[in-house]
A = this chain, B = another copy of it.
Amino acid sequence: MLTINEMECALRNLCAAEHFSFDIGLRVIKVVYTSRIHRHPAIVNEKFSKEGGTRLHCIHFPFTDLDKVCEYIAQKVGNLSGKTVQFTSTHKDSEECVRIIRDTLRVKMERVNDMRCHVKGTNFLLSNILDEVFVYDHHNVDCRYFFQTCLNSPHSSVYPYVLVNVGTGMSIVRVNSESDFEYIGGSHCGGGAFFGLAQLLIGSADMDELLVMAEDGDHRKVDSLVSDIYGMKYEGLGLPPDLIAGSFGKCSNTKFADQVKNDPDYRKDCIRSLLLMISNSIGQVVSLVLNNEKTNRLFFNGFMVRNHPIIMRTLSYAINFWSKGALQAHFLRHEAFNAAIGAMILGKERLENHGEVDIEKVSWREHYAGCSDLGRFVPRRPTDAAFRGEVLELDCADILMRPFPLLSPSVEYDPDTVDLNSDLAAREFWLTIMEESVHKMCSKAIESQHDSPTAAARADVVAKKYLEQLKLLRDKPFAYGTCNVRNLLDLREQIFQEHDFDDPFKLQKKLENDLAVRELPKVVTKLDGMDDVRERLAEATKGLLAGNVFDWGAKEVVKLMEGKEEFTFQKAMDVVPARPWLNDDLDEFLDASMNGGHKSIVVFVDNSGADVVLGVLPFAREFLKLGSKVTIVSNLLPALNDITFGELIQVMKEVTDRDELLKRHTEKGTFKIMHSGQGSPCLDMRRVDSELCKAVLDDKVDLVVIEGMGRALHTNFNAQFMVPSLKAAVIKTRWLADRMGGDIFSVVCKYEKPIVDLM
């Protein structure tokens, strides 16, 4: 039974809850609701002026706790009278549950078609959760989960895909588009047969117990293998000797059956055989049905499959075996919630909630900090195995995010340069550095709210929580999907925000921006005084790199910046080493720019202060002088000392007051600022604001500049674009310098022209 405390942890923000939907299963119930959340004041934009954002809460809990959960919701949520709650169910006997929900919450209950819910919900998960899809490889002991994303290309779609639902039976649905799907097959052999026969054979239908037994059992004592029939040397049909020729074949003879039954391991062996019989059968039918389908996007879901290693393993094996390697089984991290989410979407469609967010029309991001189990592979509280509730939270981005349209169609885009799931040394380094830096970050956070009496206590909770999560990631790096620098940083950011530290570097950034804006005329005057255009652009590019030395995210720089002497822009210019740099394509970049190769450029910027003001703006001015259009792209949400869109608006106001050239181009529209929609020190090109995507195409951007360690080295270092790109950063950590074969403050100035696609 769930305790009040557990319910509090799982069913959050109920006081601001809006709409509810339910998926009533035989064993587990899923509830989904939206709630209004406090929005970061750091976001300043007329578009986002309305108070608060939307969060989607998805929780599943045992069937037996329904009364308790409903009472808890009713108590917290206040009056829902007259509201309609959508539900879906894959069994007829859900009437009792429906009655409980209706009577306790005092709502109208409306049933929605379960298959439509499954499809809608799956579409939602695939379109919004990065690393939602994974392949399971049992034989890879280091890492059994290989994550994939369906969102990594502007040139392809998630459709068509095939959804296999293994519940009581098994059904196969082909999803052709957002709104079109089709039943293409199914089978009567599924979870019903497994639990039903297990119940009749050994008197238990307890999933956990049965799966442990299956894991331990030896089916070869029960089944007839090819070798049992033909011996080891048989080559008649080309079948491997350990292939199961007949499930339970050894039991069909009374004598053998008695032997089997008297075996102390009988129960285990029998359950394993049963599990294999059903998994193999599902794998075979799916492979055969998919012979005629033109997709290898094959997603399994349903309670039989849901993150059960032995089932994922046998299904993966069976799909591979029966399709002769042509197909691969894929699983979904959050498929448990797909029907309930689908019911929510379908319900909202029917209700036509004007003025409210249309779930399908905007993007959502996984709110790791609120999820119980970091992607379902880790029990929320390992000490409390009895609690079966699981939570997924997603935050509405309020905007629609899309893959950056200039990504190359010929190279698969992976934002992250290092995969911490497979790169053990890198993982250890990053987990350690994150652990070490948490207290420094917390002091910054307390400092940013020096007038709040709770700041210190909240910062303590943040540190404790983040350290706990890091510990867990050390053990189970696949908890978020593929572990990488990007999501270690995102998780930290989310935990700070969750504890009302909406922007720990707020004051620091303000201070540095003000300082840099005052410093700007000096830097500009120096450049404007240079006669040679090429030399001027070279100097501005060096300035871009020098600006990037200023970074509160890098330990080595923090040492410099906190040193006794004032750290000026000129000093930063001196820190930038003499050429040739570690990556030095400066000449090629200048050649191309001088020849008018870049008529429209977009610059993804990094830090506040000197970086953006003294590094990026003079660089931008040089391109404006050359006659190019320039768009500066910042983050939307706060992350470390990275400049946010709100801050950039403020900075530009002050700068254009003092800089005629920038003012003129701003008014002319040849210079503008936009945001990526993101809130991370890294840049994930799979999901940028769709308005930016549109602008980039409208402006015919022909140079993508990515600046800073997080955006150009930890991520995007290997990214390929359809237009030339400049990746510019100063290496400010010893580890990365070592990795890249350079020294601290080594310079990366990587200019690349698109790979010509011969296809």
Contact = CB atoms under 8 A, between A and B. Distances in A.
A205 B114 contact: no
Given A92-B231, A277-B193, A245 B188 contact: yes
Given A115-B236, A192-B249, A288-B289, A200 B90 contact: no
A159 interface: no
A561 to B, nearest CB: 63
Interface in A283-304: 284-285, 288-289, 291-292
A558 interface: no
Residue of A186, A224, A254, A285 with most chain B CB atoms under a 10 A cut-off: A224
B188 A252 contact: no
Interface string A244-280: 1111111111100100110000000010000011001
A744 to B, nearest CB: 61
Interface in A195-251: 195-201, 205, 222-224, 227-231, 236-239, 243-251
Contacts of A285: 284-285, 288
A48 interface: no
B169 A92 contact: no
A44 interface: no
A247 B556 CA distance: 65
Contact of A251 (B199, B236, B237, B248): B199
B230 A281 contact: no
Contacts of A230: 92
Contact of A236 (B114, B185, B245, B277): B114
A228 B91 contact: yes
Contact of A195 (B167, B228, B252, B260): B252
B92 A197 contact: no
Most chain B CB within a 10 A radius of its CB, from A196, A223, A237: A196
A26 to B, nearest CB: 7
B196 A222 contact: yes
A638 interface: no
B199 A249 contact: no
A567 interface: no
A168 interface: yes
Copies of this chain held together in the complex:
2
A187 interface: yes
B193 A249 contact: yes
A113 interface: yes
A314 to B, nearest CB: 12
A191 interface: yes
Given A192-B252, A196-B249, A252-B196, A171 B257 contact: no
B251 A200 contact: yes
Nearest to A194: B252
Contacts of A254: 199, 205
A172 to B, nearest CB: 10
A579 B662 CA distance: 118
A277 B188 contact: yes
A466 B390 CA distance: 78
B246 A197 contact: no
A119 to B, nearest CB: 11
Contact of A90 (B201, B229, B257, B291): B229
Given A237-B115, A252-B191, A200 B261 contact: yes
A464 B448 CA distance: 113
Contacts of A196: 222, 246-252, 257
B270 A200 contact: yes
A87 to B, nearest CB: 14
A183 interface: yes
A189 B282 CA distance: 12
A62 to B, nearest CB: 14
A724 interface: no
A169 B205 contact: no
A483 to B, nearest CB: 37
Nearest to A251: B196
Nearest to A244: B188
Interface size bucket, A side? 35 or more
A190 interface: yes
Nearest to A289: B288
Given A199-B251, A252-B199, A192 B291 contact: no
Contacts of A187: 281, 284
Contacts of A113: 236
A91 to B, nearest CB: 6
Contacts of A261: 200
Nearest to A274: B197
Contact of A292 (B248, B251, B257, B291): B291
Nearest to A238: B183
Interface string A487-527: 00000000000000000000000000000000000000000
Given A115-B237, A171-B237, A224-B169, A257 B192 contact: no
A124 to B, nearest CB: 19
Given A183-B238, A245-B168, A288-B289, A197 B199 contact: no
A245 to B, nearest CB: 4
A343 B147 CA distance: 53
Contacts of A171: 237
A193 B288 contact: no
A623 to B, nearest CB: 58
Contacts of A251: 195-197, 199-200, 205
A89 to B, nearest CB: 9
A249 B92 contact: no
A245 B90 CA distance: 11
Contacts of A260: 200
Contact of A288 (B197, B253, B288): B288
Contacts of A115: 236-237
A247 B193 contact: yes
A294 to B, nearest CB: 15
Nearest to A94: B229
Most B Cβ at <10 Å: residue of A91, A183, A244, A245: A245
A248 B90 contact: no
Given A229-B168, A246-B190, A205 B253 contact: yes
25 contacts: A26-B252, A26-B253, A168-B246, A168-B249, A169-B244, A169-B247, A185-B288, A188-B223, A188-B276, A188-B281, A189-B281, A192-B246, A192-B247, A193-B247, A195-B251, A196-B252, A196-B257, A197-B248, A199-B253, A200-B201, A200-B251, A200-B260, A205-B254, A281-B281, A291-B292
Q: Which 6 A-B pairs have the closest CB atoms?
A: A192-B246, A196-B248, A192-B249, A195-B252, A168-B246, A196-B251
